[in-house]
Amino acid sequence: MYSPTWSRFFDQKWADKCPMKKCQLLKKTSVGDTHTYAALEAAEANVLTVGPAPDYALYQSLMIAKGYNYEVSMECDNGFQKIYHDLSIKQLSKCKTALSLKKDVDPALLKGFKIPYSTTMRHIVPTAWNEDIFETIDSDNCPITGCARYLPGCNTPITGITNMMFQTNDGKIQLNVNANANKGWKTHICVVCTNGEQDISQDHYVGEQGNVCAFGFDVIKDPLPATITTFDYDDSAGSNRKIGTGYTSFFKVKSAVMA
């Protein structure tokens, strides 16, 4: 209930002789000093109502998910005089406080990720920010609609193509990252997600792709015949004996970048 009675807005000199006969809410339109009044629009009439005589209490709904802000006028009439009072009636949107960090979020997900070098140009990080990191109390009216990259501190947005970009796949908001930088990369960002009315952020998120040279070799199994890996004493062979043709006798290069 917004007001229990019309007398909250108006005084009446002779209540017994001139009782209030009608009160209603109207839409006011002003042009200069000229005011006209009309019936409420449907959306307004659905959430703002006036009760029966004699109190003509004013009721407002507080269950509108997106909230509202209506400018209306209360008109009361004693049969001889009409009087008006302008009102601004608001209800905050539930979406302004709908987002939060997921209660059972894996702390490791909040720190970031590290991927190895790959010949594949891009990689989709499995973490879905709108499902695995953040949550909403109303997925129908206040869903997380997007996430963006900010510089650490969460004040300055990052623009343009970088090593990490957001994209939506089957309703999941995920990072699409560069996976084939020869020297690797490491980037610190703040992630800001929104439902259009509330922003929520995770700062100090670190994405990293390893240097190709950090894991560019494979060991060749049994690179040398077992019969020449163990030798008898032989002073005629000299102080050193070559048992391989170089490191490629033992290892193979994964990437032509290293060759």
Q: What would the DSSP string read from start to end of 33-91?
A: TEEEEEPPPHHHHHHEEE--TTT--EEE----TT-EEEEEEEEEE-SS-EEEEEEEEEE
- Distance, in Å, from the CA atom of 192 to the CA atom of 129, rounded to the nearest integer, reads 10
Tell how strand 22-31 and strand 164-169 pair up. unpaired
- pLDDT exceeds 90 at position 236: no
**Where exactly are the structural domains of the chain?**
6-92, 97-213, 216-253
Residues 176-231 have pLDDT tens digits of 999 999 999 999 999 999 999 999 999 999 999 998 876 555 555 555 555 556 66
Q: Which fold has domain 97-213?
A: Immunoglobulin-like (2.60.40)
121-133 pLDDT, tens digit per residue, is 999 999 999 999 9
73-130 per-position pLDDT tens digit: 999 999 899 999 999 999 999 999 999 999 999 999 999 999 999 988 999 999 999 9
d(CA 168, CA 146): 8
- Strands 82-91, 99-101: pairing is unpaired
Rounded to whole angstroms, the Cα distance separating 146 from 110 reads 17
